[in-house]
Structure 1
Amino acid sequence: MTNASGSTFTFPATYSFPPFFTPQPNSSTRHSQLQKWSALIQSWCRHHRIYRLSLIDAIDTPLFHNSALRKRVSLSEARAIVDWMAKSEEDGGGGRRAEWVSAGGAGGVSAGGGEGAGGSSGVGAAAGAAGKIVAWIWWRRPEEWAELLADWVEETGQKNTVLTLYELIEGEATTSQGTVAWTIHITNNAPGTSSRQNHLNTDCLAEFHGMDLDVMLKSLNVLVKRGKAQVFGHEDQQGVKFF
């Protein structure tokens, strides 16, 4: 399945293994299964630039449905996988690589918000199964996006520069036209790891180019908490200044 740029997503070998689609009874095998599903979901979402994954919509896509095998993940199993992804490693989970979106809204935040994906633990439990429909998928957690933003600010000389959020997400400022842009390489097996290389390539975009607005705000809030940015304005008139 191709993304907007025309590149094809490559599924891992485990995707062709029928037991991958049903919960495994052995605890160690189950843990390995959940790790592989987490890696696959993160890689899939990154490839297709999906920040909020709707399980209702995704359950019939190739992510959860292997038509060649005639095997699919049930909705309850998909929820269980995302539940595991949302837990910290200390709690036996997948390292907070997901966060349930509350039924009350998208979860956008202002400059006074907490750092990173803080507050994600307990959100899913409070929402209940009925609320576990849409989840943020953190192939990069907000604090990791914040580090990437800070690197970009440093490399492109954007300190003390005021940018609107539109410019930051969609504008030429986040392309490599005449500047150095980060290109990030993430494998299907380790979507949380990256190899940074600098390229003077006019076809490259900063990885956060086109980012979901709420994810950008969550990430900027990390820099605000660290004293590295100021977010101001309201709604579509918001801007940011980096320090």
Structure 2
Amino acid sequence: MATATSSPATPGLTTTPYAPPPTTTNLSSATFTLPSYTSFPPFYTLQPNLTTRARQLALWTNLILSYAAHARLFRLSLSAPPANLLSNPTLHRALSEPDTRAVLDHMVQQGRAEWIPAASRAERPAAVWIYWRSLAEWADLIYGWVDETGQKGSVLTVYELREGEAVGGKEWVGMEEEMLRRVLGVLVKKGRAQIFGQEEGAGVKFF
């Protein structure tokens, strides 16, 4: 495949910190509209030209974050990524694992992802947390909800925060417990919460 000499044209894309789109009631990944640059075959191979490569990394970061915000995706696994997110069956193109790791490394450097340690130190991480909102932003959202609903001083379970009726429709619904605990850890460090126990039924008291 020929090396691209210029980056795909994508009007309006900036490299400023990502801002998630407004909440939508339709969260089906099937309704996510792929940007036009995903129809450009060289997009699926990181190019050696540094300027082009930097542009590609920015585009991939924007694509993954946009999809994650749309589909409420909190964890991305290299072995089972969302269908067609890292590939284009029509073009018979897919981002290779080395290039996928390069993209995710870039996102980690930008504070938009974090590698999840593998079970064994001898293994390479195979999944990342996707931060379409930062941990601090999630912490502020949850604490804001606690404040607005008059639950300061109350004890809620981790399960209630993830799946309870009271949080229905909130952006963090379905967040994996491990990530939610990391978010709550931000509030603990600020003296705004205390966690009791280690299981999903553990209690969280907000101050």
CA contact (8 A) 1:232 1:238 kept: yes
TM-score by length of 2: 0.81
* Aligned counterpart for 2:67 among listed residues 44, 54, 73: 44
Superposed displacement of residue 104, structure 1:
2.5
Partner of 1:168: 161
**In structure 2, C-alpha distance between the alignment counterparts of 1:75 and 1:19, rounded to whole Å:** 16
* Aligned counterpart for 1:96 among listed residues 96, 107, 111: 111
Q: How many residues align?
A: 182
Superposed displacement of residue 147, structure 1:
1.3
**In structure 1, C-alpha distance between the alignment counterparts of 2:159 and 2:94, rounded to whole Å:** 38
Compared CA separation, residues 28 and 6, structure 1 to 2 (3 A):
closer
CA contact (8 A) 1:56 1:75 kept: no
**In structure 1, C-alpha distance between the alignment counterparts of 2:27 and 2:65, rounded to whole Å:** 17
Q: Structure 1 stretches of 5 or more lacking a match?
A: 88-94, 106-126, 176-204
Partner of 1:80: 102
TM-superposition CA deviations, 1:57-116 (whole Å, max 9, x none): 12x8301110111211111100111011111xxxxxxx21111111138xxxxxxxxxxx
TM-score by length of 1: 0.69
**In structure 2, C-alpha distance between the alignment counterparts of 1:155 and 1:27, rounded to whole Å:** 48
When the two chains are superposed, the root-mean-square deviation of aligned CA atoms in Å is 2.0
Following superposition, which runs of at least 4 residues in structure 1 exceed 4 angstroms of deviation?
Answer: 3-7
Superposed displacement of residue 48, structure 1:
2.8
Partner of 1:16: 39
Q: Which stretch shows the higher mean deviation, 232-241 or 43-52?
A: 43-52
**In structure 1, C-alpha distance between the alignment counterparts of 2:133 and 2:189, rounded to whole Å:** 18
Superposed displacement of residue 28, structure 1:
1.9
**Identity percentage of aligned residues:** 47
Q: Which amino acid aligns with 1:171?
A: G
Q: Which amino acid aligns with 1:223?
A: L
Compared CA separation, residues 104 and 6, structure 1 to 2 (3 A):
closer
**In structure 2, C-alpha distance between the alignment counterparts of 1:80 and 1:208, rounded to whole Å:** 27
* Aligned counterpart for 1:137 among listed residues 103, 110, 130: 130
**In structure 2, C-alpha distance between the alignment counterparts of 1:13 and 1:218, rounded to whole Å:** 35
Secondary structure of 1:131's counterpart equals coil
**In structure 1, C-alpha distance between the alignment counterparts of 2:59 and 2:78, rounded to whole Å:** 18
